[in-house]
Amino acid sequence: MDVVVVLVVVAAVTVFVSAPLRRVRTAEGGAASEIAELEAAREAKYREIRDAELDHRTGKLSDEDYEAIDGTLRGEAIEILHRLDSIGGR
Amino acid sequence: MDPSRKRAIRLTVALTAAVLLASALIFVSFASGAEEVTASQLLRVARPGRTYVLAGSVVYGSVRHEGTALLFRIRDPKLHVSVPVRYTGIVPDPFAAGRAVMVTVQRRSSNAAFVGQANSLTTKCPSKYKAQAGS
Amino acid sequence: MAPVGRTLLILGLLLAAYGIGASLYGARSGRREWVDSGRRSVYALAAVMTIAWAILEAAFWRSDFSFNVVAQHSSTTTPTFYKLAAPWSSQEGSLLLWVWLLSLWSSLILFLTRKRVRDIAPYATAVLLTFAAFFTSLAAFLANPFTTTASPPPEGAGLDPLLLHPSMMIHPPMLYSGYTLLTIPFAFAVGALITGKLGTAWISVTRRFALAAWLFLGIGIVLGARWSYTELGWGGYWAWDPVENAALMPWLCTTAFIHSIMIQEKRGMLKVWNVSLILSAGTLAILGTFLVRSGILDSIHAFGASTLGIPFVVLLAVMLATSVGLVLWRRDRLRSEAQLDSLLSREAVFLIQNLVLVAMVLVIFWVTFFPLISEAVTGTKVSVGPPAFRPFIVPLALVLVALAGIGPIIAWRRVTASNLRRNFALPVLAAFTTCVVLVVAGGGTETRPFALAMFTLGAFVLTTVAQELWRGVGARRAMTREAPPVAFGRLIRRNRRRYGGYIVHAGLAVLLIGVAASSSFQHSRDVVLAPGQKVSVDGYRISYVRPIASATAQKLSFGAVLDVSKGGRHVTTLRTTRGFYPSQDPTLGQIGRFFNGNADSDVGLKAGLTKDIWTVINPNLGPLQGLINQGDKVFQAALVKAMRTAATLPPAQARASLNPLWALRDQAISGITARFVSHPWPVNFLLIVDPLVTWIWLGAIIIAGGGLIALWPIPALARRRRTARVPARPAAPPVAPAPAPAPVREPV
């Protein structure tokens, strides 16, 4: 019984782990990692924009400071979006 | 101010703080520590009035009570030498003969017994993670 | 099933080795299928380890004493809950738990990142599988939980009675979860360094795992403190024991990391610092795992020496060397993208906080290892205790609490004087008022400046958090007109990181107020009392009402009932006992072994929001020794005689023929035990009145709640809605603001 269990597990593991090696693969674009970095940067920038807005609404930033920071952050966000567009990201 | 000068000042302040902290740490460690000794070392070097942390195992058959004091002997881990200790205070739950313990001791004169400081007795949990060849 | 378990360990090792090779080959050659196969080997490892763990648990549940580990750590009389938790009370079981948890978390992160950070993931896979291979090797070859014996004993040794406590059973899985979760960001940091992809992608995919590690480690640490307070019988919750410190150090490092990564995400700064922090945290997690098993430091937890010390030292050396080497190799790519604009900014506050936390880690590390350092340098081992920690940790903790209050109310990048005034006025006023009230009210706070400082700063922090919540709710209601409770709930839901963090800060303040009060204003007395005698502690009159004792086959118990009153009014009745479990050592005597085995204390505790009244009894059984010795002689002689008779009988009858002797023995033990009640003598009590201890546990619960809020993922739909709306308002270029149409405002 123990031998059967072991054989079943070994067989299942072998089939499962080797499955990708038996599939036909299509080529991938080489820019995937750069896209991932830019997407992470974009999400972080959006969070910063929201945080700045919340800081302004809760009185941590004056109107002038907020306008300046918000402008800067949105400019940086636009830059990231442009870079994403240029390499075909979302 | 020039940014590189600002960085240099901040770095200097940080390094100075680090050096001061390190120096204080070294000083306090030595000043507040007590020499940790085995039974054989204690018998060799113990000076009256000085405090030592005695580490070793409790000798089987040596544990007894005298009023509210607990008397036991602590064995050297390597040599066949043991030291008698008279202790008052809370006895940790894991304390038993054969267990590894640490207690802060002192003696008043060269021939007096070693007296354990109240509530300084600590005992290692009974070894779950034993060395293969008995510890 | 033990052979199956042993085979699964070897299979696990082979899977780990294959996965390392496949991942690295796939990464180097660009062949995606090998990377995918390597990832699948992690999933397969998790499945295999789950089966192995189930086999071990089943053996404990069934009390299958053919398994050596079950015979050594469980018994038929161990309650089921503790039977299932007993595997991790052993070296062997705890190693298997480590691998199992590691394989589960690794599977989760690799599944979540199967389409992201594809350059980094294969190297991270290889690192995680290296850890898995290390621990699986230890389990397979040095401490195998599936070793068996051909002649299983009829009964197991049972669990150490000190571990028969819920906290103590949950504490190890929490700590191991924390340690294993820390390997995730560690592995991805290594992957990021190897590939040179040192932006924020590796942080964004592992941030939650770092936060989860922080949460689990924190819960484990607090559970250990709670166990110490309620079980260990010394009245404290933290002893700066090496093994306690070993869990605290990676927790402090991770606290620094989860703050400083925000700076890298927002400003591209502190890249070297962040990778160094997480590499240090991961290394400290392995160091903590090592310390418990090596016996190199004297600790009540350090469970004796083991054979695993050298492999751990090698692993630690490899981790350290690799970490330093990688950071030095990639130092060019780790340059900051921006500068610190102002010392009056949240970035600066985070940076100072990080320095404080790292300073705490260095202090704790130095003092913990000082016995070894002093021996290496001077030849003399110097033992240090709490007095060496306090001069540093207390001031650093005060700075940390102050920063926990300043951080939430200071903006990123820069702050103006008017904003400082607006945001600091109320918290500073609250702090000042608290300080004045405490000094005027008396009670001794003025003579304990550090405690007073902590109360003052605690009030500061709690006020800043309350102010932030108030203003946030107000800002939301201004746009949505929601009812306050609804606005409050939605505010937190939409800003989980921020407000989860603020709640954690509030919890920290509550916890440290409890620590300051309980360590500075504790009243304790170590007294010897006879029944009827009274003593005063901090205005409470505590009288020893009567002794209590009981005897069962599992345990002898000696205790006391104490009455507590104040100002003539009854406050509470405390009951404390010390239990003795029979030893299997025959040299202690047939009667003596019941009185000289493992002991555990049940403390008498009346916990309250303002004060705890705590007591433990230390019954001196010396007066019973004469009877015990007499009993040993009589029963030893009777046993020898009975065994001679039994030897002539068939086995079943032989066993039955001893039953009358055992019944007489049990009667004798009950009789001796009862003398503690019928002829009581003075016994030792430790009596403690401790203020605000409950605040420590409450603070910990608040911290855990805040951590869970910060950790909770945003639903995918809400995330897509949010990212779609944010750029709707056109951006103004940095130099010349362009006119923007009416902004599309969404509620905060």
Per residue in C606-660, pLDDT (tens digit) is 999 999 999 999 888 888 988 998 999 998 888 888 888 888 888 888 888 888 8
Q: State how far the Cα of C320 lies from the Cα of C313, in Å rounded to an integer.
A: 10
Instruction: Give chain B positions within 8 Å (CB) of C385.
Output: 32
pLDDT, average across residues C427-439 = 95
Helix C496-520 × helix C693-711 angle, to 10°: 170
Tell me how many degrees the CA angle C584-C587-C592 measures, rounded to the nearest 5: 75
Helix C271-294 × helix C201-231 angle, to 10°: 40
Tell me if A9 sits within 8 A of C48, measured CB to CB: yes
> Closest by alpha carbon to C199, among C267, C112, C256?
C267
Partner-chain contact C116 A54, CB within 8 Å:
no
Partner-chain contact B119 C621, CB within 8 Å:
no
Token representation of residue C735: 């130099």
Phi, psi for A69 (deg, rounded to 5): -65, -45
Residue in B closest to C599 by C-alpha: B93
Helix, strand or coil for residue B37? Answer: strand
Q: Is C155 buried (19+), middle (13-18) or exposed (0-12) by CB count in 10 A?
A: middle
Rounded to the nearest angstrom, the gap between the alpha carbon of residue C720 and the centroid of all alpha carbons in its chain is 36
Closest-CA distance, C102 to chain A, in angstroms, reads 18
How many CB atoms within 10 Å of residue C586? 11
Helix C271-294 × helix C346-378 angle, to 10°: 40
Partner-chain contact A5 C4, CB within 8 Å:
yes
| Four-point Cα dihedral C735, C738, C742, C747, nearest 10 | -20
- pLDDT band for position C266 (50/70/90)? confident
The CATH code belonging to domain B35-125 is: 2.40.50.140
DSSP state of C269: -
Partner-chain contact B96 C599, CB within 8 Å:
yes
Q: State how far the Cα of C623 lies from the Cα of C333, in Å rounded to an integer.
A: 74
Q: Given this model, what pLDDT does residue B47 score?
A: 85
The full 3-state SS of C536-557, as one line of letters, equals EECCEEEEEEEEEEEECCCCEE
Closest-CA distance, C221 to chain A, in angstroms, reads 32
Instruction: Give chain B positions within 8 Å (CB) of C387.
Output: 32
Token representation of residue B4: 């590189």
Q: State how far the Cα of B71 lies from the Cα of B64, in Å rounded to an integer.
A: 5
pLDDT for residue C303 is more than 70: no
Q: In the Cβ-directed half-sphere of C611, how many Cα atoms lie within 13 Å?
A: 15
Tell me how many degrees the CA angle C487-C491-C497 measures, rounded to the nearest 5: 165
More confident of the two residues B111 and C400: C400
| Four-point Cα dihedral C182, C125, A17, C109, nearest 10 | 50
Tell me if B55 sits within 8 A of B36, measured CB to CB: yes
pLDDT tens for residues B50-68?
A: 888 898 889 988 888 777 7
Question: In this structure, are strands B52-58 and C523-529 parallel, antiparallel, or unpaired?
Answer: unpaired
Q: State how far the Cα of C688 lies from the Cα of C686, in Å rounded to an integer.
A: 7
Tell me if C558 sits within 8 A of C577, measured CB to CB: yes
Residues 6+ apart with CB under 8 A from C255: C214, C357
DSSP for C497-546? HHHHHHHHHHHHHHHHHHHHHHHHS-EEEEEEE-TT-EEEETTEEEEEEE
More confident of the two residues B119 and C226: C226
- pLDDT band for position C589 (50/70/90)? confident
- H/E run at residue C565: strand C556-566
Partner-chain contact C598 B126, CB within 8 Å:
yes
Long-range (24+ apart) CB contacts under 8 A made by A26-32 are A28/C32, A29/A88, A31/A87, A31/A88, A31/A89, A32/C118, A32/C119
Judging contact as 3 or more Cβ pairs under 8 Å, the answer for C and A is yes
Q: What percent of chain A has pLDDT over 70?
A: 86
pLDDT, average across residues A66-75 = 90
Partner-chain contact A71 C33, CB within 8 Å:
no
> Closest by alpha carbon to A69, among C746, C267, C200?
C267
Query: Testing the interface with A: which of C203, C726, C729 to mutate, by most A Cβ within 10 A?
Result: C726
Q: State how far the Cα of C100 lies from the Cα of C136, in Å rounded to an integer.
A: 9
Judging contact as 3 or more Cβ pairs under 8 Å, the answer for A and B is no
- pLDDT band for position C743 (50/70/90)? very low
Closest-CA distance, C435 to chain B, in angstroms, reads 29
Partner-chain contact C423 A60, CB within 8 Å:
yes
pLDDT, average across residues C561-589 = 90
Helix, strand or coil for residue A27? Answer: coil
Nearest CB among A18, A62, A70 relative to C419 is that of A62
Residues 6+ apart with CB under 8 A from C148: C2, C66, C67, C68
Q: State how far the Cα of B121 lies from the Cα of B24, in Å rounded to an integer.
A: 28
How many CB atoms within 10 Å of residue C446? 13
Tell me if C684 sits within 8 A of B68, measured CB to CB: yes
Rounded to the nearest angstrom, the gap between the alpha carbon of residue A83 and the centroid of all alpha carbons in its chain is 15
Partner-chain contact B124 C298, CB within 8 Å:
yes
Token representation of residue C634: 């009589």
Partner-chain contact C303 B90, CB within 8 Å:
no
More confident of the two residues C720 and C385: C385
pLDDT for residue C150 is more than 70: yes
What is the value of pTM for the model shown?
A: 0.90
Q: What percent of chain C has pLDDT over 90?
A: 57
Binding partners of A (≥3 Cβ pairs within 8 A): C
pLDDT for residue C732 is more than 80: no
Closest-CA distance, A74 to chain C, in angstroms, reads 5
Partner-chain contact C302 B124, CB within 8 Å:
yes
Q: Quick one: CA dihedral B74, B79, B80, B83, positive or negative?
A: negative
Instruction: Give chain A positions within 8 Å (CB) of C3.
Output: 2, 6
Helix, strand or coil for residue C343? Answer: coil
Partner-chain contact B131 C618, CB within 8 Å:
no
Instruction: Give chain B positions within 8 Å (CB) of C301.
Output: 124-125
Nearest CB among B34, B37, B68 relative to C528 is that of B68
- Beta-bridged to residue B58, according to DSSP, are B74
Token representation of residue B105: 């001791």
Partner-chain contact B131 C599, CB within 8 Å:
no
Residue with tokens 């102002």: C342
Partner-chain contact B28 C392, CB within 8 Å:
yes
DSSP for B96-124? -TT-EEEEEEE-SSTTSPEEEPTT--EEP
pLDDT for residue C204 is more than 70: yes
pLDDT for residue C223 is more than 80: yes
Residue in C closest to A78 by C-alpha: C731
> Closest by alpha carbon to C591, among C632, C630, C555?
C632
Token representation of residue C342: 């102002």
- pLDDT band for position C256 (50/70/90)? very high
Query: Testing the interface with B: which of C335, C373, C381, C581 to mutate, by most B Cβ within 10 A?
Result: C381
Residue with tokens 């705490």: C360
Query: Testing the interface with B: which of C297, C384, C576 to mutate, by most B Cβ within 10 A?
Result: C384
Nearest CB among B60, B91, B129 relative to C293 is that of B129
Instruction: Give chain C positions within 8 Å (CB) of A53.
Output: 748
| Widest Cα–Cα separation across chain B | 75
Partner-chain contact B36 C528, CB within 8 Å:
no
Per-residue pLDDT of chain B (135 residues; tens, 9 = 90+): 677 787 788 888 888 988 988 899 888 888 888 888 889 988 888 888 888 889 888 998 888 877 778 889 999 888 888 999 999 877 887 788 888 888 989 887 777 779 998 878 887 655 444 333 332
Nearest CB among C15, C34, C471 relative to A13 is that of C15
Q: State how far the Cα of C512 lies from the Cα of C514, in Å rounded to an integer.
A: 5
Closest-CA distance, C404 to chain B, in angstroms, reads 21
Q: Is C727 buried (19+), middle (13-18) or exposed (0-12) by CB count in 10 A?
A: middle
> Closest by alpha carbon to C188, among C255, C135, C110, C245?
C110
Tell me, yes or no, if A69 comes closer than 8 A to chain C by beta carbon: yes
Tell me, yes or no, if A27 comes closer than 8 A to chain C by beta carbon: no
Q: Given this model, what pLDDT does residue C306 score?
A: 56
- pLDDT band for position A26 (50/70/90)? low
- pLDDT band for position C198 (50/70/90)? confident
pLDDT for residue C748 is more than 50: yes
pLDDT tens for residues C478-498?
A: 888 889 999 999 999 989 999
- H/E run at residue C432: helix C417-441
Instruction: Give chain B positions within 8 Å (CB) of C686.
Output: 90, 119
pLDDT for residue C736 is more than 50: no
Q: State how far the Cα of C580 lies from the Cα of B96, in Å rounded to an integer.
A: 11
The full 3-state SS of C591-633, as one line of letters, equals CHHHHCCCEEEECEEEECCCEEEEEEEECCCHHHHHHHHHHHH
pLDDT for residue C383 is more than 60: yes
Question: In this structure, are strands B34-37 and B52-58 parallel, antiparallel, or unpaired?
Answer: parallel
Q: Is C485 buried (19+), middle (13-18) or exposed (0-12) by CB count in 10 A?
A: exposed
Partner-chain contact C616 B30, CB within 8 Å:
no
Selected residues 44-63 of chain A with any CB under 8 Å from a CB in chain C: 44, 46-55, 57-62
Token representation of residue C63: 């009390």
- pLDDT band for position C715 (50/70/90)? low
> Closest by alpha carbon to C461, among C488, C424, C498, C494?
C424
Q: Given this model, what pLDDT does residue C296 score?
A: 59
- pLDDT band for position C56 (50/70/90)? very high
Domain boundaries, chain B: 1-31, 35-125
Q: Is C525 buried (19+), middle (13-18) or exposed (0-12) by CB count in 10 A?
A: middle
Q: State how far the Cα of C544 lies from the Cα of C21, in Å rounded to an integer.
A: 69
Tell me if C374 sits within 8 A of B30, measured CB to CB: yes
Q: Given this model, what pLDDT does residue C613 score?
A: 96
Q: What percent of chain C has pLDDT over 70?
A: 93
Tell me how many degrees the CA angle C539-C542-C548 measures, rounded to the nearest 5: 165
pLDDT, average across residues C312-339 = 85
Q: State how far the Cα of C246 lies from the Cα of C289, in Å rounded to an integer.
A: 8
Token representation of residue A57: 């609404």
Mean pLDDT of chain C: 88
